[in-house]
Copies of this chain bind each other. A is one copy, B any other.
Amino acid sequence: MAREAGVSITTVSKALNGYSDVKPETKKRIQQIAQRLNYMPDANARSLGGKARKNLAYLVSGLAKQDESGFVYGMLSGMYQASLDHQFDFIILTTNAAKQGELSYIQLCRQKNIDGVLVSGLNINEPYYRELMNSEIPCVVMEGEYKSKNVCGLSIDNARAAYDVTHYLIGMGHKKIALMNGKSTATVSQRRLKGYLQAMAEAGLETGEAWVENGEFDEDEAYRATFRLLDNCLGVTAIFCSSDLMAIGVLRALKERGLKVPEDISVIGFDDIPVARYINGGLTTVAQDPYEMGRIGGEILYHMITEKKEYGHVYVPYQFVKRNTVKVYYPANRTVNT
């Protein structure tokens, strides 16, 4: 390339990087030759040489074959967009508990020269969960509740959302409300449980171990857990599910027991995944916007990296979407007397 143009390597570098100390003519000539030869500076060498682009990584624990909720994809595309907007490079990294034993979080980042990471799917019992805290590289935990110098969490206000939903159900006359929660090791589940319990307590309603099952965010697991709920919580009139996927499992179990939704029992989901609007004539649920979350996460990371800003937990908006799986509950005796 330099030979072809009859100039030094340095001049080529300057010309292509838009420095001012190169004669316009030579600059133009170099650019043309580069175009003709399809020459492009090697990113690795540039990085080593000093002109490094910043690297963002999306670190997913347990990447699945299918993304039924569209959450991973949505966040991914949002993050990607943010990277593009700020001229950052973007890579995906996956991990799981086993891998985390072999390669430390810091090593992983150093190896790939990562300047900032967005993590998701990390449970509190995985090795990286603790490593993150002491890391000096900026990180935002998607749907997590972290807080340290270089780490912040990003999520909707899960406790409040769960409170809203429960409160709404109570307002509709329901008193026996069960919670089909996710995983006990997931932060979001802990927060939603809190919101649910608070609303129930404020209304003076009964709750307890029996009224809360963990469906592991899995359709089939939720399906099975529903029968336990039905057997242990006599007279339950509403089930609040911590994910739409679990709501699907719950609905299936309910149908098998001959219970009609919403006539006999009300169901609310969480996430508003694409199928939600088609389930049971429309599933009432809490909508999150994964694309926005990803984009905002990337944006925050940008500020953490370039301005060394620190963040507390960042909340993003959610929306309560009322469709057709909730009905006002009239106590039996009232109905009879009418």
Contact = CB atoms under 8 A, between A and B. Distances in A.
A150 to B, nearest CB: 15
A38 B275 contact: no
A263 interface: no
A50 to B, nearest CB: 12
B113 A43 contact: yes
Of the listed residues A40, A45, A64, A73, the one surrounded by the most CB atoms of chain B closer than 10 A to its CB is A73
Contacts of A45: 48
Contact of A38 (B68, B90, B110): B110
A32 B129 CA distance: 23
A94 B80 contact: yes
Nearest to A131: B38
B63 A80 contact: yes
Contact of A111 (B40, B66, B72, B90): B40
A292 to B, nearest CB: 9
A22 interface: no
A251 to B, nearest CB: 11
Contact of A113 (B44, B74, B108, B275): B44
Given A92-B92, A274-B275, A107 B73 contact: no
Copies in the complex: 2
A70 B76 CA distance: 13
Contacts of A65: 74, 77-78, 81, 291
A111 B42 contact: yes
A4 interface: no
Contact of A39 (B68, B78, B94, B107): B107
Interface in A159-183: none
A321 interface: no
Interface in A175-224: none
A319 interface: no
Nearest to A273: B274
7 contacts: A38-B106, A38-B107, A43-B111, A63-B80, A66-B274, A67-B73, A73-B76
Interface of A: 38-45, 47-48, 63-68, 70, 72-74, 76-78, 80-81, 84, 89-92, 94, 103-104, 106-108, 110-113, 274-275, 278-279, 291
> Nearest 10 A-B pairs (CB), nearest first?
A40-B111, A278-B278, A73-B73, A40-B107, A38-B106, A44-B44, A67-B73, A40-B110, A65-B291, A275-B275
